[in-house]
Amino acid sequence: MAGTFDAVIFDCDGVLVDSEILAIEVELALLADEGLDYELADFKARFLGLSDRAFCEALDADCQLRLGRALREDFLDLTHQGRRAAVRSRLQAVTGAAEAVAAFNGPRAVASSTGVEFLRMKLELTGLWTLFDPHAYSADLVPHAKPAPDIFLHAAREIGVAPGRCLVLEDSANGVLAGRAAGMRVWAFTGGSHCDDATAEPLLKAGAERVVCSWPDAADLFRQA
């Protein structure tokens, strides 16, 4: 593995911070109130890694198809309120994340679908901000969110590393597709609380080259690079 990548770009939600399990809880409850019920595995496969705009567009299409009406106009506001309340009271870093990030000595960045302010809040609350500052980038900064490659290409430009020399750590099929479209190597990370035995397969199908089940495993691999 030595010399095969020069920089690591990390997704945030579900990779560095254990926020996906909180967001899914909030979103599924709000959608059930709206009359939209989803199987958990299908919901994660379709929607994890999307920006808020893409998420709401897809939900609105489902609402039109299944219920014959548009998604309520304040759905995203309610989602933001619920997510922020859950993050403020319950967010934790994924176990071992800080140690693993510190184990990699090269350039590193965060590339997330989360909004700029919320991304910083999550990283600060979990003590991870200083490991990346100023290289934490939101999809708000680029024209197209994941699964488009824009955010990963933006991060690579900012840290001054060619895309082909970057490694991406992702927990969603949309994120894996984005990393691969950027011409980067991608590892699937399945150490978040939202992951289960079925998580790895769609990530491998999307193009991840290997599965990393925990941050201690990732740290060991980083030390070999």
Q: What is the DSSP string of 39-84?
A: -HHHHHHHHTT--HHHHHHHHHHHHHHHHSSPPPTTHHHHHHHHHH
pLDDT at position 53, please? 87
Sequence-separated (6 or more) residues with CB below 8 Å from residue 90: 22
Going from the C-alpha of 79 to that of each of 62, 166, 171, 178, the distances in angstroms are: 17, 33, 21, 24
pLDDT at position 48, please? 85
123-150 as b/e, with b when 16 or more CB fall inside 10 Å?
Answer: bebbebbebbeebbbbbbebeebbbbbb
pLDDT at position 3, please? 55
pLDDT per residue over 185-205, tens digit each? 999 999 999 998 889 999 999
pLDDT at position 212, please? 95
Cα angle 174, 80, 42 (rounded to 5 degrees) comes to 35
Contact 218, 193 (CB under 8 A): no
* Higher-confidence position of 170 and 42: 170
Q: Give the pLDDT band (50/70/90) at residue 41.
A: confident
pLDDT at position 2, please? 43
Report whether pLDDT(13) > 80.
Answer: yes
Stretch 147-154: mean pLDDT, rounded?
A: 97
pLDDT over 90 percentage in the chain: 83
* CATH class name, domain 7-18+92-224: alpha beta
pLDDT at position 1, please? 46
Report whether pLDDT(70) > 70.
Answer: yes
pLDDT at position 108, please? 97
Sequence-separated (6 or more) residues with CB below 8 Å from residue 212: 169, 187, 188, 189, 190, 191, 218, 221
* Residue in this structure with the two tokens 């609380």, named with its chain if needed: 193
Q: Give the pLDDT band (50/70/90) at residue 147.
A: very high
Cα angle 20, 171, 160 (rounded to 5 degrees) comes to 110
Report whether pLDDT(220) > 60.
Answer: yes
Report whether pLDDT(15) > 50.
Answer: yes
pLDDT at position 44, please? 87
pLDDT per residue over 90-117, tens digit each? 999 999 999 999 999 899 999 999 999 9
Tokens of 222: 């980083």
CA 219 to chain centre: 19
Report whether pLDDT(45) > 80.
Answer: yes
Q: Which pTM does this prediction carry? A: 0.87
Identical fold at 7-18+92-224 and 21-90?
A: no
Show me where the domains of the chain are located.
Answer: 7-18+92-224, 21-90
How many alpha carbons fall within 13 Å on the CB side of residue 120?
6
Q: How many residues does the chain have?
A: 225
Stretch 129-156: mean pLDDT, rounded?
A: 96
- Topology of domain 21-90, per CATH? DNA polymerase; domain 1 (1.10.150)
Closest CA to 147 of 185, 109, 188, 176: 176
Contact 115, 138 (CB under 8 A): yes
